[in-house]
Structure 1
Amino acid sequence: MSANPPAPTRVGGQGAGLLYAVAAYGLWGFLPGFFLLLDPASPWEIVAFRILMSLGFCAILLTVTRGWRTLAGLARQPRVLFTMALAGAFIYVNWQVFVLATLSGHVVEGSLGYFINPVITVALGVIVLRERLRPLQWAAVGISLVAILVIAVGYGAFPWIALALAFSFGFYGFIKKRVGAQVDAVSGLTLETVWLAPVAVVQLIITQATLGLTFGSSGPVHLLLMIATGVITATPLLLFASAARRLPLVALGLTQYLAPVLQFLTGVFLLHEPMPVGRWIGFCLVWAALVLLTVDMIRAARAGRRASLPTA
């Protein structure tokens, strides 16, 4: 009996992992509401401060956790350094498009991007890693393509916001997965924001010259919210990293739908964004594709567990 680990320890670890995952995706789901509170700041000012405040928050975390030596070691590796630069480019596109979508009344289309992100991840596996898809995965990809076409035709506009978010975050996740064993969450985000800091500074200068900056001139609450963009950005990433160490891949994959569901509900019921019939049909097709991916993921996990069992 002593050879088996006690059940409470195992359950407790996974229970904590589930709380971390729900907290991470819940925070990501409520991001549209947070960014709307930053009015009258422009999307360009918000993203620039998001980069700089994230860098400042990461510096504090590195100091508290004594992670500067680890960061310095990673910075001396050119491959890691330039990989993080590429990841930073993709996350910059994701952040900028997401804030632009939120402040221009396209929260629902933004949620569509994160709904189809798992399908994009599967497609990247085929294109980049030459992976072979299982039948249910092929069906999910095909249904998603039909859904995008239906939304484009029914809504009268190509869903470029959704696709930009899905592809940018898909490539970002792909890069982070490739270096995940070598680069921890805080060091990775620090290197990404270091690369993006000059972009943020230039963006602030241009914004000041064209639109004007609101930082420090819109009241103390607005000032504190702008500073908090760093915490709002880094905290979900750290929670997600903690969840990933404790949860099985299937459980972690299922929780990822929480963020786009919250964003969708915010756009439809709080912001009252239009939902014509074509868009409803497209979203239903996307949700059907996600059901197929979920079933396939659960089947694959069960098959893996059966294959790992010792034979008699």
Structure 2
Amino acid sequence: MTERHSNEIRRSLFAGLAGYVIWGFAPLYFQMVDFAGALEIVAHRVVWSLPMLFAALWFAGKLRPAFAALRDKRVMLILLATSALISVNWLVFVYAVNNGQVLQASLGYYINPLMSVAVGVIVLREPLGPWRITAIVLATLGVLNQIIAVGEVPWISLTLALSFTGYGYLRKIVTVDGRIGLFWETAFITPFALGALIWMQSQGAGHFLQGPMEAALLILAGLITIVPLLLYIIGARGLRLSTMGLLQFTAPSLQFAIGVLRGETFTSAHLLTFGLIWAGVAAFAWSQLRRDRAAVATKV
């Protein structure tokens, strides 16, 4: 391995990890803006993300291919679907954080990769293997324990996992640069977000004009959205899929710690739920490492 290649890997690792760390600490930001409701926060997140994404595309020299993508009806239809899914994901996540349900949100992002495995097997006919079967079974048992022992359907966790799994699958099959895809997703949502903000402001329910601090915090929603995504893209380009697969658990782990430290309800039944999910994650991680080693050995 050359020194240049080694530096690129370190840069990618730092970028990918930084992106997940920002996502992990994101609940602290959304708790700071809990003076606004989930809909208003997400609307600002969308509206301020669009010009930032436009600037990022311009800087990367991607504006021409971005507008060329408009001619592909299949790509645009898929991005319309992904814009709906990511909107649901953002709304539910912000709602969870602002209503003291960070633990449920973290659980959803632990379940997400395991649900993606199931989609890969069912839809893409990917090989399963004993470790992945174990991971899916353990995750299922964890959800069932949450329903039976805790006495609640973890709808926040399941909605986050389902929406992001569907989003990930559709983004996997659409042939467009990740930044371009997010730009058009955001552009599709922006008219609705602007309409919602204008309506809220006209009804006296908006918070953007309350003061400079409130306005600054709401504008910051755009940066909280774009910066970790761009870091993630840098990481994904330079690292193996298995490495990114392991790094992704940084975010829900930090969210879990925030939920516990903030005093959310966490009984022995909750511990069993998370224990089963964590065991499933461990089986998934081991499966990823084994497949990665096998792929390297085959190339050699």
Partners of 1:209 and 1:150 in 2: how far apart? 46
1:292 lines up with 2:283 in the alignment: yes
1:139 lines up with 2:131 in the alignment: no
Match of 1:191 in 2: 184
- Corresponding residue to 2:45 among 28, 50, 53: 50
1:225 lines up with 2:202 in the alignment: no
Match of 1:268 in 2: 260
State the secondary structure of the residue aligned to 2:51. helix
CA contact (8 A) 1:144 1:285 kept: yes
Residue type matched to 2:162 in 1?
F
Unmatched tracts of structure 1, length 5 or more? none
CA contact (8 A) 1:51 1:197 kept: yes
Superimposed CA distance per residue, residues 140-172 of structure 1 (whole angstroms, 9 cap, x where no aligned partner): 101110100101222221000001001111111
Within-5 A mapping of 1:7-18 = 8-18=3-13
Partners of 1:102 and 1:210 in 2: how far apart? 25
Match of 1:96 in 2: 91
Within-5 A mapping of 1:196-211 = 196-208=189-201
Worse-matched range after superposition: 23-32 or 75-84: 75-84
Partners of 1:20 and 1:132 in 2: how far apart? 30
Unmatched tracts of structure 2, length 5 or more? none
Match of 1:170 in 2: 165
Match of 1:239 in 2: 231
Residues 244 and 100 of structure 1: is their aligned pair in 2 closer, same or farther, counting only changes over 3 Å?
same
Superimposed CA distance per residue, residues 84-142 of structure 1 (whole angstroms, 9 cap, x where no aligned partner): 11111111010000000000110000000001111010011122213331111111101
CA contact (8 A) 1:49 1:229 kept: yes
Q: Kindly, what percent of the aligned residue pairs are identical? A: 37
Shift of 1:231: 1.4
Shift of 1:249: 1.5
TM-score, normalised relative to structure 2: 0.96
Match of 1:214 in 2: 207
Residue type matched to 1:273 in 2?
E
Partners of 1:211 and 1:120 in 2: how far apart? 41
Residue type matched to 2:50 in 1?
L
Partners of 2:289 and 2:112 in 1: how far apart? 18
CA contact (8 A) 1:97 1:164 kept: yes
Partners of 2:281 and 2:204 in 1: how far apart? 41
CA contact (8 A) 1:185 1:238 kept: no
Residues 10 and 280 of structure 1: is their aligned pair in 2 closer, same or farther, counting only changes over 3 Å?
same
1:33 lines up with 2:28 in the alignment: yes
Match of 1:72 in 2: 67
User: What is the number of equivalent residue pairs in this alignment?
Assistant: 300
Partners of 2:203 and 2:212 in 1: how far apart? 24
Partners of 1:220 and 1:9 in 2: how far apart? 45
TM-score, normalised relative to structure 1: 0.92
1:109 lines up with 2:104 in the alignment: yes
Residue type matched to 1:203 in 2?
A
Partners of 1:94 and 1:156 in 2: how far apart? 24
Cα RMSD (Å): 1.5
- Corresponding residue to 2:250 among 258, 262, 280: 258
Shift of 1:198: 2.2
